[in-house]
Amino acid sequence: MNTIGERLKNAREKKKMKQSDVATLLGKNQTTIAAMENNRSTNAFQTLAELCKILDVSADWILYGTEERGAPPVKEELNEEGQKLLEQYKAFLIENYPRKKYKEVGNL
């Protein structure tokens, strides 16, 4: 899997989702997802954060093909300020990307 499109397709298939499922979640057409998977579209970069969340993969894996899947583990050595920032970021994600909207499609 050398291209972004190939990795997107692989991640989608591992989630047992159809192109139309991903398209619905992103508010895009199925043809847009097909173009992204066939490396005919730059929309992957515009919607990368949403794709990573839906497909449960990291941006590094999509962009560079590293074997790590999902978010990297959080280091326990975070100081108090780091922990506070992490909690604020989690709250931001929950507020702006609620999981309930993703439960409508596929195996999420």
Out of 4-8, 20-24, 65-69, 83-87, which region has the weakest mean confidence (pLDDT)? 65-69
Q: Is the pLDDT of residue 1 over 60?
A: no
Cβ-in-10-Å burial (0-12, 13-18, 19+) of 17 comes to: buried
Q: Which two tokens stand for residue 106?
A: 């596929």
Contact between 17 and 10 (Cβ < 8 Å): no
Q: Scanning the structure block, which residue is given the tokens 């991903």?
A: 22
Q: Which residues have a Cβ under 8 Å from the Cβ of 1 and sit 6 or more positions away?
A: 7, 10, 65
Residue 106's pLDDT band (cuts 50, 70, 90): very low
The conformation of residue 75, written as its DSSP 8-state character, comes to P
What is the total residue count of the chain?
108
Greatest alpha-carbon pair distance for the chain in Å reads 46
This prediction's pTM: 0.47
pLDDT digits (tens, 9 = 90+) for 34-76: 998 888 876 556 677 788 888 888 877 777 777 555 555 555 5
